[in-house]
Amino acid sequence: MYRFLGAATRRAVPPESWSGQRRWSHQQSKWTLGHGWVGGLGLGLGLVLGAKLASGLSGATPAPSPGAPRPDESPLGEPLSPAPAPGLPPWQPPAPPPSPSPERFARAIESSRDLLHRIKDEVGAPGIVVGVSVDGKEVWSEGLGYADVENRVPCKPETVMRIASISKSLTMVAIAKLWEEGRLDLDIPVQKYVPEFPEKEYEGEKVSVTTRLLISHLSGIRHYEKDMKKVKEEKAYKALKKMKETMEFNQDKDLKEIGGKSNEKSEFAKAKTEQDSEAKCRNSKPGKKKNDFEQDELYLKEKFENSIESLRLFKNDPLFFKPGSQFLYSTFGYSLLAAVVERASGQKFLDYMQKIFHDLDMVTTVQEEYEPMIYNRARFYVYNKKGRLINTPYVDNSYKWAGGGFLSTVGDLLKFGNAMLYGYQVGMLKNLNEKLLPGYLKPETMVMIWTPVPNTEMSWDREGKYAMAWGVVEKKQIYGSCRQQRHYASHTGGAVGASSVLLILPEDLEVETTDNRMTIPPRGVVVTIICNMQSVGLNSTALRIALEFDKDKSD
């Protein structure tokens, strides 16, 4: 009440009398009055001054003081913008879409953390690290368990682990860059770049191995298994099994189309077909084939000085299949691709890759070498025959830098995934295309890379196909109000004492969305998981996590 009365008094008194008012205030402090006199005097004075102030303001417009801005000028002396037309809101520049905050994804984080704890406990993994980004922003990264069990060093987002075959996706960027620059032809024999790799024959016929076939594992070059007979038997067994499943699906479909009406003859024929198929599968079932972790070449300790030198491991071996005819996953094929990159770029493979890592801001991604000090590097583990956790043996991965020899963190892998997603989507946004920065790879290049290739397989998700150094599942829905298959790209990895996955779930940019100026790529969810235990399947876990975050994003 007293502050209000004081303010009213100051407004009623002209500025030139402020000094007299201050003297009066100073003098009144010498008076000694009772509390009742002060209250009554203040109330009466306030009422009188308030009435006079109100009557003075109602009929007069105060003149501006010297130096004060005119009503039609800004404080800086510049004319103000004209008032908007009646009924129209004032123009404002479009604000960028809000950045996703971790609080928004609290439910998804809690659910995903619980899932990872379950997976970790189920497989007995010492440590696991996860990273998730939404629309290009990292919203969650966390380590569970131990990076170093002996010294009780916990996992954290900065933990460096083997990323295994995700290295193939990194190598694809180098190949794509050289192709975009016109320095690499994907469809001519690799001998043009690497004459040290001998020309090949298959069943007496000369055949060509090209860079494109190597990328999609269609070259016929072997993997770690050297026994061609075992590999062919396994491929034949899988083909028969798939044929049987297809026949059963078609028979069920035919029965539904005719309303389930079938006579005894058709039932007998169906039963006989099933028996014949089972007999064929039993007779053609291959002998026990070693898995990758039982192959001696996976545990090589020899250091190779360059990519050309590592070719001697397999260059003189026969092709297991005719190039282009069948899919045979081959890390050695990527060792040959490293040599192609060296010759096409004129640089050592690792030097060229480090330039790419620098451009992508992947500051913790390096080739795995034993001697250098690599901060936050985890140790790698396996269980022995007695079920005890032990350290993995020493291995030298210099023979397969391109196919499985890099180390990284979840933060770097998220950056890489978002760079790929940006390049893929930037071409879809026609209205903003000229205003946005270009992607590291061109949109048409990314579309080519993420287009499934015929005659290929995606071992970590049977719904998909292998593309160019990525597995791709396409969008599909067969029945209304039923399961909808989302489009995504991923690559898994398995190395000695390590498992990994990088999964990209793009936002479905419809025509309406691509015309919206607020849509700025990358749009979607990127998930990566790295683990210091081998033989841990992580793709389905990463997909579940991506869908959880996508759900929170949509809500």
Give residue 294's pLDDT band: very low, low, confident or very high (50, 70, 90).
Answer: confident
> Region 512-535: what's the mean pLDDT?
82
Q: Which residues are catalytic?
A: 165
Report pLDDT for 295.
82
Measured between alpha carbons, how far is 523 from 421 in angstroms, rounded to an integer?
Answer: 8
SS3 (DSSP) at 262 = coil
Quick one: pLDDT at residue 400? Answer: 96
pLDDT band, residue 52 (cuts 50/70/90): very low
Most confident option among 64-68, 73-77, 298-302, 466-470: 466-470
At 254 the pLDDT is: 59
Return the number of other C-beta atoms located less than 10 Å from residue 355's C-beta: 14
**What percent of the chain has a predicted confidence (pLDDT) above 70?**
71
| Range in 66-80, 112-126, 289-303, 459-473 with the lowest mean pLDDT | 66-80
Domain residues of the chain, as ranges? 109-233+295-508+519-554
pLDDT in tens, 298-335: 999 999 999 999 999 999 999 999 999 999 999 999 99
Spatial contact of 256 and 479, defined as CB atoms under 8 Å apart: no
Of 30-44, 128-142, 145-159, 389-403, which range is least confident? Answer: 30-44
Residue 524 has pLDDT above 60, yes or no: yes
- Residue 310: phi and psi, rounded to 5, are -70, -15
Query: What is the rounded distance in angstroms from the CA atom of residue 441 to the CA atom of residue 173?
Result: 8
484 vs 414 pLDDT, higher one: 414
Alpha-carbon separation of residue 250 from 206, 256, 445, 525 (angstroms): 39, 10, 37, 36
pLDDT surpasses 90 at 267:
no
pLDDT bucket at 48, cuts 50 / 70 / 90: very low
pTM of the predicted model as reported, rounded to 2 decimal places: 0.76
Q: What is the pLDDT, as a whole number, of residue 234?
A: 83
Half-sphere exposure of 179 (CA within 13 A, CB side): 22
More confident residue, 113 or 430: 113
Res 377 pLDDT > 60:
yes
291 compared with 77, residue with greater pLDDT: 291
Instruction: State the Cα–Cα distance between residues 354 and 173, nearest whole angstrom.
Output: 12
Q: How many residues does the chain have?
A: 555
Q: Which one is predicted more confidently, 351 or 430? A: 351
Question: Which CATH superfamily, name and number, covers 109-233+295-508+519-554?
Answer: DD-peptidase/beta-lactamase superfamily (3.40.710.10)
Helix/strand/coil for 302 = coil
Question: For residue 311, what are its two tokens?
Answer: 């070719």
User: Phi and psi of 40, rounded to 5°?
Assistant: -65, -45
Q: What is the mean pLDDT of the chain?
A: 82
Q: For 214-257, write each residue's pLDDT tens digit.
A: 999 999 999 999 889 888 888 887 777 777 766 765 666 555 55
- Provide mean pLDDT across the span 508-521: 65
pLDDT-derived band at 431, boundaries 50, 70, 90? low
Surface-to-core class of residue 387, CB atoms within 10 Å of its CB (0-12 exposed, 13-18 middle, 19+ buried): exposed
pLDDT of 550 higher than 70: yes
Contact residues for 173 (Cβ-Cβ < 8 A; gap 6+): 356, 360, 440, 441
393-419 average pLDDT score:
97
Is the pLDDT score of 53 beyond 90? no
Where is average pLDDT lowest: 66-75, 140-149, 200-209, 355-364?
66-75
The confidence band for 336, taking pLDDT boundaries of 50, 70 and 90, is very high
* Least confident window among 27-31, 244-248, 302-306, 499-503: 27-31
Long-range CB contact pairs, 371-378, < 8 A, 24+: 374/160, 374/407, 375/160, 376/147, 376/156, 376/158, 376/159, 376/160, 376/409, 377/160, 377/161, 377/407, 378/127, 378/147, 378/148, 378/155, 378/159, 378/160, 378/161, 378/532
pLDDT value of residue 32? 42
Residue 238: what pLDDT? 76
